[in-house]
Each structure stands twice: as structure tokens, then as C-alpha cells.
Chains A and B, each alone.
Chain A
């Protein structure tokens, strides 16, 4: 961190101001505070307990790739960390300026540049808020079909950085399936474009290299993404199963029989009792399974009938379409206060993905680890984002009264993560499906990848020789305090 009393601070500020203009270099206490905390529990706790946060030295808002390039060259010259920032709503601490430096707030780059109705693609600056993006695309008569709970909070760049996903991922894919190509400013300031189509045999796919790189390999400035027609029909249905296992077998059968729901979500018994009751008002004992189909109505009806038949082969209570629709209508409500877990509670989402053969083993491994080692914690989970081969486990632990001392609280928090995630990895689980790695899980990357992690480290070293890009994230080298 550059001390504000040092004249170098003014030297760097002058250089940045020359590139983006005075209005777009922020050094106020107000903005630094907002950029010191994202949606990661640890900085929230730090703030809550009145502890000192690490602010950025500068918050800079570039207008285009050329300005980003100039800023990266300045940062390289002075060896200053660059931390790309979108909406700041990441839960992994990926956008935190842990070593100070320049927060590159991308929200000024917020335009939809082109909509191509022939190929059904949109070219977009990635600082755009994803709700704004969806509204703009809808006005043109299409949809991105990207409906994450954080649609109103995050930018497209944030989703690209962390391989984010939306509710309709089962049919429309995660962000890495939605993106056709990218414009990227490399750490040394070159502006490059990846190949314009996502399917090719011209070597490894650079688009996929930058997707999920969390700002450690460069700054994504523009994306071409798929857009879709507004479906004629979208319908939902819900069932209640006695056990999560029964519900899981129904969900897996729907997927492995190659039906194509747009969404499936399965809540375990504790989460059904806790959240489904509280948020949706459905007071039932068991495991709540909801799914939906969209597209042409005739096809929707046919697929829905087949999926319902699969469920009815098992012991269940048919909750009908209304209790399915209720879930869809309230799908974001779970994340608003007071429904979302909040301080003083300690809470974490143990996001894990695995094949159908392993997913229940992963669930039980994590659940038992938390139960056996941390009796003060409650474990709940639901399975979202289902694919032909497996699904994601959105498991959560909640501690109502974590230790008062923030250091002790963080130590406990990290210990739960360390043990639960390592138990999941042992059973074939992968961290993670859509939240990213960030600061939170960097230390586990070596365990997850094994010797393959060196490949990622080598790529990072080549692309970013001065390690200016988001140091200390994703398990990569830090900058030194």
C-alpha cells in the first residue's frame, strides 16, 4: 500500500488522472470503504466488529479497453496491485484489495454495443449490471436467460471472472456456456481478442482460459454472448419426497433420461423445514423438489408429463404446479434481508459439484464433518444446477453465535471450510460450481488440483511477470504485506 502522505501517491494519482480524467479516480474515504468489503463473510465480520479494513489506494473507473491498458502499464511500472471490481457482490473475497493498490471498478464500461439477431448474440461491455443487461436485451425482444440470485448486484464481468451461473443453468448453461468470445487486456497491457466462435479445433480455447481467472490473468473488457428467444411457455411443478435420497434419485433420473428441464432444485429435509417454510410459506416435512421446463408449450407439456411420471414412480406428495410457481416467483427472495443469513451469524456456502455417483457421498461427508466436529453449527443444503452427469450441492453451515473475538471467529470459520471442503474433495467433489475461489478458498487449490496446479501457476507467471493482477487470489502468490 502506498501511504497517502508519500509524494509517490500524488505521482501515481496524476498518471491515473491523465488516463481516465479527474472524476474517475476516487480516493475518498467513502468510496474506499465500499471497496474494502464485498459479500465475503470475513470482511463483513471485520467491519461489524469495528476492526480496520484494508482499503484500496485508488478506485479507478476506466471507460474502455485502451484506458484499462494504460492503467495496467502504469501499475506494472510502479509494481502496484490491480484488483478488478464489478458489482462487488462476490462471496469469495475475490475483489478485495488485500494489498491495497488500484481497484479497477469496471462499472463505467456498461454498454450493449450490438445485438446480432441473425446469430442471436450480443456484444457487451462487461461492466454492465446484469439486470440492466437483461432489461436491455428484453427490450430488443430476447433474453440472456441468465437469472442468478445476484442478477441485480453483479456485473457481467463478475460472472465471467468467477464462472457464475443463473437459475436456468440446466438448459441454458453457466456463464462459460453463454460466452462466445472475449476481449481481454493482458497484465502487460496488450488488448487481445479470443476466437469469435466457442467451438473450434484451433488449439486450446483461450476464451475458457480467461473465464474463471478472477482477474489474475488480465482484465476482461468485452464479451460476445448468446441471447435467446423469449420462450412461449415456462411451467413448474413441485413434489415432496420423504427423503432426500428418493428425491435425488428422481432428479437424477430426469437428467439421465435426457429430458431437458430449464431448472431443477432439491432442498434437503432441514432446508425444506427452515427456508422453504420461512420464505415460501410451504410448511411440509420432507425434501422439496421443484423443476421447470420452458420453450414451445407443446414440448413443455410433454416433457413436464414425463418428468412428473418419473417422480410419481417414487413415494412422494404431489405439490402441483402452484407450489412450483411459488418457488419461481420468489426465487430471489431467499437472498434479501431478513431472509438471508446475516450478522452476527457466521455462515458459509460450501459450494461443491460432483457426479451423480458421488454427489450424495459428498453431501454426507460434509454434513457429518460439520456435525461431528462443530456441534454449534447447523448444516443445510440444496442441490441446484443439474447437468446430464451430476449436480451442484449448495450446502451451508450457520452458527448463530460465533466467538466475539474476530480472530477466533475467523479461525473457526476457516477450520469448518478446511475440514468440510477437504472431506468433499475426498469423495470426488470439486470446489466449486459457481462462486469461484477468491481469497476464501485459495489455500485449497493445491489439494484440489495436485501437480496440475503448477500449470496454472506457470501460466500466471508468463502472463503477469510482475504479479500485479489480483495478487493473493485463487491460491496464486501474494504481494507481501
Chain B
């Protein structure tokens, strides 16, 4: 079983409560099962008795995880509980026990193709190509990350193969990625192509500052907790003249409403709405304030459950400054 590779995590997390306050799902369902300890206990039980993998409650709990890495980031020893959950999801898939809903989502995610347009040696993968006039663009949906987090490793590799071919054929030297989940997935996968987050590229160029504007930054779970807390997004926003105000009560919690699970809103819409409501509840003034996020998923999902929220992506924040100029 894949979980066998994570016995250190099982042993560390199964009786440990030290990061429970950071589990976004546990904080809205209040269930012990929805904490790293709760999940590690279940996986430990599965490890002891493989028949338990068939338990529908256990399977459902594993697909309820938002895969936030805030817990791992917080842990002084950085035990990787998200990797443990991903491992058990792979075990569930390989045992043919995957729930119908997950299966249907996976089938949908497999229907993807990638097309490259333009010429040059920089390739942009995102939804705001107007900011990258000298770059080629690659269109297409998720490059395989979503399938990977659902536990479909083989299918994920197949989709990534398609993406890789398109990138390689373009002969680009740099790949700029907008969505943090895709950036996390792609950043170490190419030998001859440098993969950077869009904020890094935009920061290296000329940006317009315009008048100062206060904004709350909703950090990306990927950029902060998975990818070493890269500084470019905040530096870019500051360079653009945004006065960034910390959101919520602390800098540890993830307010990215299931970003780590990529398609969390498709998988668990009711829970996702609860995560969104928690974020709305922490806002000082949801209607008047401006929120900026690195993740398109976070932006779209927060807007979905409350259309009054003024939330824009980093790229839109940069574009707005250009327009204001």
C-alpha cells in the first residue's frame, strides 16, 4: 500500500493534537475526523487492518480533506500529513473503491487537450494573456494536478504527458504559470524549461504604481505552505502601490477554501460553502474592502457563494493599476 511509505507520519500524527487548530475543514465541521490526528488515526487503522480501506465513512473522510499544508508548515518537524492522505487516496483508487462522484470528476478531468499559440521563448499558462504580450500562450485546463490529488496517479501522468509535449514542442525556455496549484505541480517537472510563478515574472518587469490602495491579501496555500512561502506575490503588490493588510486574526491559518484539493468545490460543495462562510465572517467589511488572491480558484469560489465580495487575482490587480494609470 502507498500508505506504507508514510509510517513516520502515521506514528507522529495519530496521537498529536498540535496543529488541529489549523485544519480548515475541522474548523467548520468540528469533527475530530477532520483533523490531521483524526485522519492519521483512521489511516493507522487501515494500516493495521487492510479491510478497513473499504469502510465508506473512512473513504468519505479522506475525500473531505482540503489538503491544506498549513498544518505541515506549522509542525516543528513538518510531518507531511497531506502526503499521507494523498497516499491513501491512491490506495483507494487502486483498490477500485473510489466513490462514484470522484470517479465521474476524474473522467471529466481526463477530457483535456493543450494548444500553444504565438512565437517566442516564453510561454504563458494562465487566463490573462493580455499582460504577456510578447509571450506564447498555452491553453487547456488542469495539467494533471487535480487527477493526482484525487488519487488517479496513472491518469494524472497521462495528462501531464500531453501538457509536456505541448510545452516541449513550443521550444520555450521559460514557462510562466498563473494558477498556484499548477505552478506547484509543474515547477520541478521540466529539465530544460524554467518554471516560474506569474508574480515572479511580473515583478521582474516594469509595473505601474498609481495611487495607494488598501487591500487584504488572501495567501495561496500552495505558494505559502507547499512552495516555501515565495515572496514575489506580496512584493509585486507592494510595488504596484497596494497597501497590504493582513487578513483574519493570524498568519498561520489557510483561508484558501480548499485550494489544496484543487477541485474541492466540485467535490464537496456544501463543505466548501462553509469554508467560504468562515472567510466572509473573518472579513472586517466584506462589501467595501478589496481582497486580492493569487489563486483563480479562491477568487471564483469566494465569489460564487457571495457575489458582493470584491476579490481580484494578482494579475487583475496589476492590470487595474495599468488601467488607472
Contacts and interface: CB of A to CB of B under 8 A. Distances in A.
Interface of A: 26, 28-31, 33-35, 37, 39, 44, 47, 50, 59, 61, 87-89, 105, 107-108, 127, 129, 131-132, 135-136, 138-139, 150, 152-154, 332-333, 335-340, 342-343
Contact of B19 (A26, A37, A105, A152): A152
A34 B33 contact: yes
Contacts of A47: 14, 41, 44-45
A153 B19 CA distance: 7
B21 to A, nearest CB: 4
A39 B15 CA distance: 7
B302 to A, nearest CB: 21
B30 A337 contact: no
Given A34-B32, A34-B37, A336 B45 contact: no
B31 interface: yes
Contact of A34 (B21, B31, B60, B75): B31
Contacts of A342: 11-12, 15
A337 B16 CA distance: 7
Interface of B: 11-22, 30-33, 35, 37-38, 41-42, 44-45, 48-49, 55, 57-58, 60-61, 75-77, 79, 249-250
A337 B79 contact: yes
Nearest to A150: B17
Given A337-B79, A342-B12, 4 more contacts: A30-B58, A31-B31, A135-B249, A343-B11
Given A139-B249, A336-B77, A342-B11, A31 B33 contact: yes
- Most chain B beta-carbon contacts within 10 A, residue among A34, A59, A335: A34
Contacts of A59: 31-32
A459 B265 CA distance: 51
B33 A28 contact: yes
Contacts of B31: 26, 30-31, 34, 59, 105
Given A336-B75, A342-B15, A153 B20 contact: yes
A265 B29 CA distance: 38
Contact of B20 (A30, A87, A340): A87
12 contacts: A28-B57, A28-B60, A29-B58, A31-B33, A59-B31, A87-B20, A105-B30, A107-B30, A129-B20, A152-B17, A337-B16, A342-B11
Contacts of B17: 39, 87-89, 150, 152-154
Contact of B76 (A35, A39, A336): A336
Contact of B42 (A33, A35, A39, A87): A33
A132 B249 contact: yes
Nearest to B31: A31
Sorted nearest first, the 7 A-B pairs with minimum C-beta distance are A34-B32, A153-B17, A30-B33, A135-B249, A337-B12, A107-B30, A34-B38
A326 B253 CA distance: 25
Contacts of A335: 18
B41 A37 contact: yes
A336 B33 contact: no
